[in-house]
Structure 1
């Protein structure tokens, strides 16, 4: 789909770039710090017992604040102006990293672990701001691209932070403690300075009364995440993403050594492939979604993850024949290309899976609740991360599973969870089918959609009616969910009926055919507009038989008499010569003609004031938008 925009343009704009930089620096610094502690333990050659204390205690200390303070963090993020809160949390980071610097310089493990707990606390407070700020600074059509950039930035920052932190003591030797101390403080100070460039973003609920008791407030926030079925299951999907990611990354060190026959640096290489894949998949989401919140990518991502994990199992089900391989040595081994491709593929489809879910949560949650919903998401994520770590250890120690068997089980479990989510909320699968149909059959070009379709609030869209695919075309191009009013015989087309019903389309009939159905349709249209939704009607009342626009009927006037809302004229160009118009006979429509992958344009005009608007005036507006290209 061509839209003339790129998500990378956001990196040139102050409304996005400072925030993006702050979150990337934060992720980078956290991982520099954690890996530097491991490097310090190795440099000091501490006893194995002390290493075990760190490796078992450190993850728990970092994740514990998410359980204890996420409810408080969500309320604070809702109540305070967001730029101010970002400055506060990055100032906290300076204090925490100063404490960490003391730990490095004194080589005191207790101080380092206390600072690690404080780092988790600071991340807990920043978490609700990280995702709740995006809908306030981005347009609806930018949400997918913005989330893709954030996920890409986070993945790459984590990877680079692990590499940089892990190399400090390798290259600095005895001076490693000084280098680590200076590095974490400088990164924190830089993040705080950049945070002051973030534009002001008003609080979601400035009058919110904070409940300081974490237990009842955590329960209240978790209830808040379950108000809408689609949001609830999107949150479940994001938490499952963290479960899958935790299992994979926890197994990679052992997998690289035992199953790939590599030295420690091969683990970093495997992690880099996964991280680069995740970043690439996150960035591709905007291109594939056409700048809409396209949750149709979620099933694609889920089943893609399972397919590549399954292939990863078959690529190397047993232990490696070689040992002590560096990266070059591994790459030269037979079968290595397949393994690298699988790790990249898992990462790419992970991006397809998680980015639309974040965008859905942001777009469907009221602004005054979003920070608390994100806090609830963080609580659930933390639980899934802990469970993933326990399950990963249990199945290997108690059941004797090999790491490839863990990957196989995860592929099967991922498929089962995906099917469960898509069964409970068929909207995900419906959007996937419609996305697949539209991208397979057409090449879309948009004009004026972002500028003229309101970002929020009720509006009535009127459009010419050319083919049986018109509703799917418009659903794929309008950033917000749309309720379509369609002739009941089109609504009842096999297969398409399930898609239309899941999308909450409104079937309508003529007064002579079924007056009761027509009245129900007008009542449902009015109720949808009263709820602030977008409703789209085709005022011609039927598909065009000659490619020309038929006179608009008066139903649009009846709708506006009951509910005066802005009217957005839209036009489809090039659909008459595409598949599924009435230009072909029914038999002709069943073939794959030359017009497969037709170039179709969708144009939107400025919203019109409902006062004084009538059917002939709207018809003239749509005719002008369509022009000569039928």
Structure 2
């Protein structure tokens, strides 16, 4: 069963998904309805200019993220998240009633108070929805669950924006807005009552109401793991990047494309639909694992298509405002829409693995507070991005030029993050290998130890054997490999980043050999997986060479379990030595050739003799060299 469709039918996920979807929908229905009303009916409400009111409304909505995210994170770590979700949904019903009063009385003060409370509602629910996922989902379901949450959120933003504008502009009165908001809020509360209980990780936590000290403490929790903290920076950058583009759509449509209000909806729908599609594709492309290789792929696509969007923008708008259908008659519009759709798709590739990574690698005791730190950083980045965009536009930049600047900044941010955490680029290289050169099929890797030390042994067929195994295994593996292969260009970056251990023969460099065995011992002491190719060299004829006694020496110092693997289908590929030297005949097997990785039963250290392990690997490989 497909994980995502299965999750949508599972009680441990479906009620949370529906609750989140309806909450995001209601936020955007009410917020956009208010903005439309204040834009077109401002004269009957206040003397403040509509442009200022719209920006003031956005600021009021985001203010609670700064003031209450730290407290929200503490609450989600201290109390049952399902009960908190129910409380937040009850709060939402009350907020809609307050908004209804403000709408009926044409009271700007009451309306802005309800908008502030809507922001508080989202602030309180944020840590709940993300911190509860690792408690209810298996590790292989995290990507699928996050993909559904992100896709649902952006679809809710789109539908809520459209519905809010429709309700505000239909001339039937503000009671329709209040009624729709109440119906959605009540449905969200009903859904929240079915969210399964989630045991709080820190029930004895003492709640501090000081937002400054708690915000700093939450950020420090996130900084305990550099990869988690930089992932939060990446997520925050994505929200800055996406919010910047969304904010420009009305002016871009009117002043650059020459479109009307319906054309704005077309651009918004294309962009948000793209993010939804990209998010849902993540599970398939990542084989249900947290695949960091998708993050660089996403950043590359975001940069390229943001640049092309700037280049594709027409030099002058249409002479008369065009509706969506009329605008589609212009050939240049299709290029713009294609860029927006692909920008959204690659944005989905970028954001989903980062959310899953933060959940997977955060300290469970601080999980909700780390999510709260993420929400604070998201809000901060969006505010700074809005101010920078306003400044650049005021300085004379056109909107297409602003898109180009955002694309260049996106590339710079990506290079900065990947420079600090090379694991992202490592996974990208491995992912590209498996998805451009080969089609990998994996059997029985579910038996791989989830934690603790073990030695992996495998037949040695080609120069990319280690990369294939790395791509298939959820846990990092420290491979022992010939020092000559370790030094190869490009591959050297991969092997250094994965902390591979170079080794030489006793005849060639006895000191290096001893150093390698010492490092293997330290790695196993630390609980790592160590991968070796006991043949000691790549096969020259497709047959398995005799296993050398190095495995016996390793197990004598560290008697850990041994995991036999077998590679099938790599013999005869570009990276193998069939018919001479490797990598001399491109496309010898064509693109996307089928390969397999098979795992056998784990062998206890006492039984892991070289001869037995060779027989096990040979049996797993069979006749498929």
Q: TM class, shorter-chain normalised?
A: over 0.9
CA contact (8 A) 2:223 2:229 kept: yes
1:436 paired residue number: 432
CA contact (8 A) 2:439 2:593 kept: yes
1:241 paired residue number: 238
1:479 paired residue number: 474
2:216 paired residue number: 219
Cα 1:550–1:251 change in 2 (3 A) is: same
1:250 paired residue number: 247
* Alpha-carbon distance in 1 for matches of 2:102, 2:194: 31
**Where does 1:4-43 land on structure 2 (aligned, <5 Å)?**
5=2, 7-41=4-38, 42=40
Match status 1:490 vs 2:489: no
CA contact (8 A) 2:458 2:532 kept: yes
Match status 1:73 vs 2:69: no
Deviations 1:540-588 (A, max 9, x none): 3332333233444444444445445554332211122322122231166
Match status 1:146 vs 2:142: no
Match status 1:414 vs 2:410: yes
Match status 1:87 vs 2:86: yes
Match status 1:292 vs 2:299: no
1:120 paired residue number: 119
**Where does 1:300-339 land on structure 2 (aligned, <5 Å)?**
300-339=297-336
Match status 1:501 vs 2:496: yes
* Alpha-carbon distance in 2 for matches of 1:578, 1:13: 43
CA contact (8 A) 1:225 1:376 kept: yes
Deviates more, 1:311-320 or 1:513-522: 513-522
CA contact (8 A) 1:529 1:563 kept: yes
CA contact (8 A) 2:151 2:279 kept: yes
CA contact (8 A) 1:578 1:596 kept: no
* Alpha-carbon distance in 1 for matches of 2:206, 2:452: 27
1:64 paired residue number: 63
Deviates more, 1:223-232 or 1:266-275: 223-232
SS state of the match for residue 445, structure 1? strand
1:272 CA displacement: 0.7
SS state of the match for residue 20, structure 1? helix
CA contact (8 A) 1:101 1:185 kept: no
SS state of the match for residue 334, structure 2? helix
CA contact (8 A) 1:259 1:319 kept: yes
1:282 paired residue number: 279
* Alpha-carbon distance in 2 for matches of 1:558, 1:240: 49
SS state of the match for residue 225, structure 1? helix
CA contact (8 A) 1:30 1:119 kept: yes
1:425 paired residue number: 421
1:519 CA displacement: 3.6
How many residues matched? 623
Deviates more, 1:587-596 or 1:232-241: 587-596
SS state of the match for residue 507, structure 1? strand
2:539 paired residue number: 544
SS state of the match for residue 617, structure 2? helix
1:111 paired residue number: 110
1:56 CA displacement: 2.4
Match status 1:577 vs 2:572: yes
Cα root mean square deviation, aligned: 2.5
Cα 1:254–1:225 change in 2 (3 A) is: same
* Alpha-carbon distance in 1 for matches of 2:601, 2:176: 58
1:495 CA displacement: 1.9
**Where does 1:190-209 land on structure 2 (aligned, <5 Å)?**
190-209=187-206
1:533 paired residue number: 528
* Alpha-carbon distance in 2 for matches of 1:565, 1:209: 42
SS state of the match for residue 129, structure 1? helix
* Alpha-carbon distance in 2 for matches of 1:568, 1:587: 28
SS state of the match for residue 291, structure 1? coil
SS state of the match for residue 567, structure 2? strand
What is the TM-score with the length of structure 2 in the denominator?
A: 0.93
2:101 paired residue number: 102
* Alpha-carbon distance in 2 for matches of 1:200, 1:555: 50
SS state of the match for residue 224, structure 2? coil
1:427 CA displacement: 2.5
CA contact (8 A) 2:576 2:583 kept: no
CA contact (8 A) 1:540 1:549 kept: yes
CA contact (8 A) 1:313 1:408 kept: yes
Deviates more, 1:372-381 or 1:41-50: 41-50
Match status 1:568 vs 2:563: yes
Q: Unpaired runs of 5+ in structure 1? A: none
1:247 CA displacement: 1.0
**Where does 1:161-172 land on structure 2 (aligned, <5 Å)?**
161-171=160-170
SS state of the match for residue 542, structure 2? coil
* Alpha-carbon distance in 2 for matches of 1:456, 1:434: 22
CA contact (8 A) 1:132 1:371 kept: yes
1:530 CA displacement: 4.1
SS state of the match for residue 12, structure 1? coil
